[in-house]
Amino acid sequence: MLIDWFTVIAQLINFLVLVWLLKHFLYRPILNTIDAREKRIADELADADSKRAEAEQQREAFQQKNTEFDQQRTAQMNKVGEEAKAERTRLLEEVRQESDALRSKLELALKNEQLSLKDSLSQRAREEVFAIVRKALSDLADTSLEASMADVFVKRLDALADAEKATLQAAFQELTEALIVHTAFDLPKKQSIQITKALHGLLGDGVAIEFATDAHLISGIEINSHGQKIGWSIADYLTTLTKRVNDVMLSHNTVQDQSPELEKSQEQAS
Amino acid sequence: MNLTPDLIVYWQMGFLKLNATIVFTWLVMLVLVVGSILITRNLSNNLQRSRWQNALEVVVIIINKQIEEVGLSQPQKYIGFLGSLFLFIALSALGTIIPGFEPPTGSLSTTAALALCVLVAVPLFGIQEQGFGSYLSSYTKPTIIMLPFNIISEVSRTLALAVRLFGNMMSGAMIIAILLTITPFLFPIVMTLLGLLTGIVQAYIFFILATVYIAAATRSVKTQTQKKAAQQPETQNTNESKL
């Protein structure tokens, strides 16, 4: 008989024991370990997925921020550029205005300098001209000329209008001191008497008359007393001439000064 | 030369006896259990793990996958029984390369015990899955006339399991023994290799057949319940349409 029933029973028990032992020591621990590992791997994968998603999200956020920052930077750059441009224009305008002002100031100063130079030149020229004239006339003047002038002086006294004569008489009437007649040179006796006569004829015989020389007169006769002056001299002529020339120069300068202002006002109006 | 290791008796006291089948079974059990304990003592669930753990994991995973492929959706429930069957038979077959080793599966008593285990396990798992009445009614499918044939089939396939394994293992051992007497050197080595292959194939066959039986016992009702579940919504729909 190939089957031994005791062995069969024993093997049955053996096998059941083996099943229990292997279940306890082999399958359960191994399967648990595998499950734990799979769970761990799944967790790690999920964690990696979530981290990747988070990283992706952060990357997108960062990219968005970067784009915004770029845009802001571009806007700021544009704004700063515009401001710099405006500032440059403003500064250039300011500088241009300043330079214009300075230039006009310089022009004015130059013009003034030119004018003053011109003035001084004309003044000097006048003075030189008058000095030459004065010298020439001084050189020409002598006693005979003086005598001639005394004649002319007497004639002029005679030719005075009655009203003028009355005024002179009234002025010199109350004169207590002697009336001094200034001449450039000592008059010859004849002309002195002639003048004395003429004056006595005009003012009366009671008036004392003295003669004095005055080099400033160049040539001529002058009577000064109580604010009244009767005279005829080359110095007077020269004084009158100088005064007139100065008046002419002054009026000319005034016209020249006014003409640039007129031009300016016309430009502004246009 | 003995036809079965049952005949090699080391110790006997009345009905009780200690023969080579039982001793070598214990040896195989010892190797399996001690090996398992040693390897699973320091299990690591990290990516770094020992080679023995890797090997054991590969074996367990392959068994698990095979059970799943046959059709048992929860292999963890069955791996204790089916995996132990495979490992015991396979290790017994592998042991034949050790001189003096008597494979316990070369004893009809052992194979009969294993087949009886399958015979009992199939209805047990079937009842656990489907319930007692439902499982028993599966013997009367498709008609009541099939009941005796189903029972005969159940018994005969158990007998076939036992005899097939015994025949293969015993014949392998016998052939090697006979060849050793005729051509002592080269040829027995080739036959030993062939015997190893046969032994592993037999282990696989025994394991897969047991799995198929259990799967058939648990699945027959599942398909019925699925059919019922599929029919119920239809009837509800028709009722609603009537209303």
Is the distance from CB of B88 to CB of B28 less than 8 angstroms? yes
**Helix pair angle (B75-94, B20-41), 10° resolution:** 120
H/E run at residue A152? helix A143-158
Q: Do A2 and B3 touch (CB under 8 A)?
A: yes
From the CA of A31, how many Å to the nearest CA of chain B?
Answer: 8
pLDDT digits (tens, 9 = 90+) for A48-104: 999 999 999 999 999 999 999 999 999 999 999 999 999 999 999 999 999 899 889
Question: What's this model's pTM, rounded to 2 decimal places?
Answer: 0.59
Percent of chain B at pLDDT exceeding 90: 43
* Residues of chain A neighbouring B36 (CB-CB closer than 8 A): 21-22, 25-26
* Residues of chain A neighbouring B45 (CB-CB closer than 8 A): 33, 36-37, 40
* B203, pLDDT greater than 90: yes
Residue carrying the six token digits 């990283």: A55
* A230, pLDDT greater than 90: no
Strand partners, B9: B19
CA distance linking residue A108 with residue A103, whole number of Å: 8
Please report which confidence band the pLDDT of residue A216 belongs to, taking 50, 70 and 90 as the band edges.
confident
User: Which residues, other chains included, contact B170 with Cβ-Cβ below 8 Å and sequence gap of 6+?
Assistant: B3, B4, B106, B108
Average pLDDT score, chain A: 82
Q: Select the residue from A26, A32, A39 to test the B interface by mutation, using most B Cβ atoms within 10 A.
A: A26
Predicted local distance difference test score (pLDDT) of residue B243? 41
Higher pLDDT, A125 or B160: B160
* Arithmetic mean of pLDDT, A134-158: 76
Higher pLDDT, B172 or A10: A10
pLDDT digits (tens, 9 = 90+) for B18-72: 999 999 999 999 999 999 999 998 888 777 888 999 999 999 999 999 999 998 8
Please report which confidence band the pLDDT of residue A259 belongs to, taking 50, 70 and 90 as the band edges.
low
CA distance linking residue A114 with residue B45, whole number of Å: 110
Q: How many CB pairs under 8 A join A and B?
A: 117
pLDDT digits (tens, 9 = 90+) for A177-188: 777 888 877 777
* A8, pLDDT greater than 90: yes
**CB contact B81 to A (< 8 Å):** yes
State whether residue A224 is helix, strand or coil. Answer: strand
From the CA of A44, how many Å to the nearest CA of chain B?
Answer: 12
Lowest mean pLDDT among A38-42, B149-153, B192-196: B192-196
Predicted local distance difference test score (pLDDT) of residue A51? 94
First vs last Cα of chain B: how many Å apart? 82
Predicted local distance difference test score (pLDDT) of residue A205? 77
Q: Do B113 and A9 touch (CB under 8 A)?
A: yes
pLDDT digits (tens, 9 = 90+) for A129-139: 767 877 777 77
Residue-wise over A160-199: b if at least 16 C-beta within 10 A, else e? Answer: eeeeeeeebeeebeebeeebebbbbbebeeebbebbbebb
Q: Which range in A159-168, A253-262, B126-135 is most confidently predicted, on average pLDDT?
A: B126-135
State whether residue A68 is helix, strand or coil. Answer: helix
